[in-house]
């Protein structure tokens, strides 16, 4: 994903933090956490991020149809039992592939939002190292420069803000 003005090193660190967090704790409602009004407004400023959001939502919708399709196939197995197992295996594999792609999209979006917060909050001196990017992050997040909001830092790095 192109990160726009976000330093690539910061994005990579954020991405690794997000991946490690979700590998250990799972994906408990990450999509719902991302799809808030504030976050959607921020994501809308990055065309690549908006495309990722649309793909993640599309993958979810297709997965929902896979679920309904598998129920339909199970209901009709008594009529044509020989092909139902192959169809169910195909749907199961498709669902797993789509689920992985959906999760990768959510993780990339969360990494971008975490990177923006890290810049805006001068987390680990990223804002000092990149002052123009920090100003842009504050503008995009519409945060108070003296006390920017930290929901993503608090979520992924609890206890790290002071």
CA distance 126 to 85: 53
Per the listing, tokens 């908006």 go with: 50
C-alpha torsion angle, residues 31, 37, 41, 46 (rounded to 10): 0
pLDDT of residue 162: 56
Low-confidence spans in the chain with pLDDT less than 70: 1-3, 161-162
DSSP letter assigned to residue 3:
-
Find the DSSP H helices in the chain: 8-25, 30-34, 37-43, 47-75, 81-120, 126-129, 131-141, 151-156
Q: pTM to 2 decimals?
A: 0.86
pLDDT of residue 88: 84
CA distance 161 to 38: 20
């Amino acid at each position: 994903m192109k990160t726009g003005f976000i330093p690539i090193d910061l994005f990579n660190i954020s991405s690794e933090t997000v991946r490690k967090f979700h590998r250990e704790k799972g994906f408990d409602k990450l999509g719902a956490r991302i799809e808030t009004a504030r976050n959607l407004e921020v994501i809308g400023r990055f065309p690549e991020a908006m495309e990722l959001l649309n793909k993640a939502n599309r993958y979810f919708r297709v997965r929902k149809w896979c679920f309904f399709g598998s129920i339909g196939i199970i209901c009709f197995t008594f009529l044509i039992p020989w092909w139902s197992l192959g169809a169910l295996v195909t749907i199961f594999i498709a669902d797993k592939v789509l689920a992985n792609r959906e999760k990768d999209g959510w993780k990339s979006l969360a990494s971008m939002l975490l990177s923006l917060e890290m810049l805006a909050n001068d987390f680990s001196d990223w804002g000092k190292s990149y002052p123009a990017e920090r100003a842009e992050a504050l503008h995009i997040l519409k945060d108070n420069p003296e006390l920017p909001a930290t929901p993503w830092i608090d979520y992924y790095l609890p206890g790290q803000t002071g």
